[in-house]
Structure 1
Amino acid sequence: MQESIFNIQNEENFTRVALEVFRHQFKNNKVYRSFCDLLYVHPSDVTKVEQIPFLPIQFFKIKKVLSSLDEVKETFTSSGTTGSIASKHFVTDIKFYKESYLKAFAHFYGDIEDYVVLALLPNYLERNGSSLVFMVDDLIVKSKNPESGFYLNNIDELANKLISLDKKGQKILLIGVSFALLDLIEKHQFNLNNTIVMETGGMKGRRKELIRNELHQLLQEGFKVDEIHSEYGMTELLSQAYSKGKGVFETPSWMRILTRDTEDALSILPTGKAGGINVIDLANYNSCSFIATQDLGKVHQNKSFEIIGRFDNSDIRGCNLMVL
């Protein structure tokens, strides 16, 4: 199945594999099956992806969302806010995750060995179970460059290395959380020509939340780069979408974004209409590939998408099935 998922070539191909994954998860995932049963949806009635039920993402906080009886090899957890319940993504086959992020990175950015990877992810490094740290750690290893590495509180050392390597013409991926990247440009001046600056979102209570345009403008000016790249991922997904600028994200071929009506969670909106973000992530073969997130966004005609906000926690309509 792994081969089918990661070698999707066209829309027809995607639909066929997605329906196959849906049937597998309906049969093998007790939580998802109960959810589908409550909606009176059976695979025999589903002929297109828009008819597949999307499991509210909150189920990852309260249930063990698994489509496999194999032993759990990794458990990824969300950071969450103080006092909130963390999401848990139980992974029985880590090969799905590795193939997903390595293939996606190669597709969007080329050979990882061309880059020095500098990671500024302090709040993720300070806890266990981060899927982002797992991915970036592997990218650092796969870069095969001794200059690659994580930075926690040593941002002066990072700044010096970044300036020095960029001047030498070395391609660099600087990946960091928003607040840490802002800390970096407040302390140091940059004029980068060979560096991709990629923010992974999140102030995590360390700073005032900024809208994307404000944040990107500050970072563009601070690093003297034309565009700020972004990564869209989450604990509950084993795939990432990437933006090379202006907050417009593209997905790898095994991932799709749909939008749902904010008043009727079971209604999928036409392309171009803003609504709740539903994600199809076929790399989630052993958990659940069809997830209704708490993000708000819009999908464009070419399947790229934008994130325009989040639901208020009290505002997730259509989730009264959470009593499962």
Structure 2
Amino acid sequence: MENWSTVIFSAERPFEEKVQQIFEYQVENNLVYRRFCEALAPDILNSGGKDISRIPLLPVKAFKDAEITAKPDEQPDRLFKSSGTSEMQRSIHRVHEARIYEQSLVEGFKAFYNLDQCVIWAYTPGYADNPHSSLIYMLQKLIDQDESGKSRFLPLANPLESSAIEEVEREGKQLILFGAAFGLLDLVELGAVRLPSNAIVIETGGMKTHRREMSRRELHRRLARGFGLDGSRIHSEYGMAELLSQAYAIGGNWFRTVPWMKVSIRNPEDPSETVPPNNEGLIGVIDLANVHSCPFLLTGDTGVMDERGRFEVRGRWNPKDLRGCNFLIDED
């Protein structure tokens, strides 16, 4: 049996080599993805994915329409579902080898932050309230890394306590506050509490609700002012139920990925085509941690990429039908 953790997280093996091996595994075992490739780019099956820019990207909508798995005969360790009400059709991500996700989220976070020296507060519902949320699962695992016991989920609709903040400072720890965009704004409105100057606020998206909508730039400005922080202390996390890795924007709008994740910007009219830097398109992702579901995904988000390989998220795209979607489901 292949040790996929070793393949995915190896620093010695080139990314392209790992992609090729996982692509071959997917084509052999993932019926939905194989059909998609056969319909969209049958020649890529013979090449074995050697040119990773030509590997077809499966629209994330497929997670709503079909069982996306390379292990159809095995029960998953975890089921993650996209946000929404019970009446909505939600994406379902079947996660085999949950330890791969845990390694991805912990090592990914450590690539950007000093996890051993921080206290994490999460202003979201707790894991018990939403066990199918990949974000809340991630936050719980990060909180579990803190042996001091000071990392925790915060009670919703309660203002921050100055005494608790002072206690974190006395321990010499850095405070990292996680939350959805408008949840953090609600927290600011509950009461003016200044965070330590070295604190970091990480917003996890959710830029639009029934109440209000604003740009990420304006959101960060309000959060910085509300928490008494320099604007560089407001960061962003990019992830979704269909991905097992995250990207982070460290003070600004430009996201960087972990080494086992690669982003490209695709032409919405022909997603097989990568657009040049500084041109807007659909965000495509290769996430090797998705080894048992599908690592090759086309998101519903628009974005741009700069010459340094960083990407910016511009918003949601509302397509009618992405090319190739009609081949996703077996009609037999």
Give the TM-score normalised by the residue count of structure 2: 0.89
Q: 1:244 and 1:323, CA in 2 relative to 1: closer, same or farther beyond 3 A? A: closer
Q: Does 1:64 align with 2:78?
A: no
Q: How far is the alpha carbon of 1:155 from its aligned partner?
A: 2.2
Q: Which residue of 2 aligns with 1:19?
A: 20
Separation in 1, partners of 2:76, 2:304:
35
Partner of 2:249: 243
Cα distance, 1:166–1:141 mapped onto 2, change above 3 Å: closer
Gaps in structure 1 of 5+ consecutive residues = none
For structure 2, the residue ranges without an aligned partner over 5 or more in a row are: none
Q: Distance in 2 between matches of 1:55 and 1:34?
A: 11
Residue 144 in 1 paired to residue 154 in 2?
A: no
Give 1:231's match in structure 2, choosing from 227, 230, 237: 237
Aligned pairs for 1:1-324 (under 5 A) are 1-8=4-11, 13-41=14-42, 42-45=44-47, 46-68=49-71, 69-80=73-84, 83-110=87-114, 112-122=115-125, 126-156=129-159, 158-161=160-163, 163-165=165-167, 167-168=169-170, 169-192=172-195, 193-202=197-206, 205=209, 207-226=211-230, 227=232, 228-312=234-318, 314-321=319-326, 324=329
The alpha carbon displacement at 1:194 in A equals 2.6
Among the aligned pairs, what percent are the same residue?
36
Does the CA contact (< 8 Å) of 1:60 and 1:88 recur in 2? yes
Instruction: Tell me the CA shift for residue 9 of structure 1.
Output: 5.0
- The 1:161/1:5 distance shift into structure 2, 3 A limit, reads farther
Q: Secondary structure at the match of 2:112?
A: helix
1:87-130: CA deviation from partner (whole Å, max 9, x where unpaired): 100011001101101111111112x2311111001397643301
Task: Provide the TM-score with structure 1 as the length reference.
Answer: 0.92
Letter in 1 for 2:116: E
Deviation at 1:273, TM superposition (A): 2.1
Instruction: Tell me, in whole angstroms, the C-alpha distance in 1 between the residues paired with 2:321 and 2:12.
Output: 34
- Matched residue of 2:274: which SS? coil
Which secondary structure state, in structure 1, belongs to the residue aligned with residue 93 of structure 2? strand
Q: CA contact under 8 A between 1:172 and 1:195: conserved in structure 2?
A: yes
Greater shift after overlay, 247-256 or 83-92? Answer: 83-92
Q: Is the 8 A contact 1:122 1:180 kept in 2?
A: no
- Over the aligned positions, Cα root-mean-square deviation in angstroms equals 2.1
Distance in 1 separating the partners of 2:278 and 2:209: 32
